Amino acid sequence: MSLGTFVRTWLPLVILLALIVKIWPTGKLDFGNTTPWAGLILEIDTSTISDLNPGVIVAGLPVQDLEGEKGLFICGAVEWTGISGISPILLAGRVDDLRLQKVILLQETVELHRSPQLIFSVRNLPKGTLPVEMVGSLLQGEQLQLKPVSKDTASLVVDLGPERARIEHFVKYDGESQNRWMGDPTKFQKLWQDQEKDDSTLLAPYRHGNLKFLNSPSPDDVVTGEGR
């Protein structure tokens, strides 16, 4: 083989191979906040809820476990005091949490990235359970299976009771005019409330939709909200 042939044919391939080897990830891939729903914020209007007992508002993605039983993968939760008003809820969660719960998302991948489907419901808040700890949990019926620490540890199960209100929503995110909230989820509620008092206009890019609950959790009465 002549030098000219090597330079024209094989040298580009050798360089390409070297680049692939250099940039190829050697460690475990961490999706972090790259999930389609992470960092989105929905504001929930609770003025229509008739049962004013305090509880928790949870947001979940429709999933199915290995046995075929359907449920919700919890990606957001906020305590509700029973007082009518607007409750902001931050969506979070990691891809690894889905693997730990051994569930699969029911929404098609393309649609999931375009407009994640979420179910919001009002439940009881078990004593000693913090809403932020619910993210990554699996809700099936009235039982919430908290996120396991590892694949080898059993999950703690708590009872959230029946639904008191429910709404289905397809979240839409505009990357040009909106932003995702990337801070610590445990500090979100306080930071949001403080900013509301100081200058609420700065929160505009982080508002990804407004929803209003129905009184009845019946599947036949579900209202689909539209993001903005």
Please give the mean pLDDT across all residues of the chain. 82
**Three-class DSSP category at 92:** coil
What angle is formed at CA 130 by the lines to CA 145 and CA 157, rounded to 5 degrees? 20
What confidence score (pLDDT) does residue 122 get? Answer: 95
- Quote the CA–CA distance of 185 and 190 in Å, as a whole number: 10
pLDDT higher at 70 or 52: 70
What confidence score (pLDDT) does residue 27 get? Answer: 36
Contact 171, 180 (CB under 8 A): no
Q: Flag whether pLDDT at 19 surpasses 60.
A: no
Give this prediction's pTM. 0.78
Portion of the chain with pLDDT greater than 70, in percent:
78
* 120-148 mean pLDDT: 93
Q: Flag whether pLDDT at 25 surpasses 80.
A: no
Tokens representing residue 24 in the block: 């190829």
* 109-122 mean pLDDT: 91
Cα atoms in the Cβ-side hemisphere of radius 13 Å centred on 152 = 0
What confidence score (pLDDT) does residue 84 get? Answer: 82
pLDDT higher at 97 or 166: 166
For residue 165, give the nearest of 131, 122, 124 by alpha carbon: 122
pLDDT in tens, 30-52: 334 468 899 999 999 998 888 88
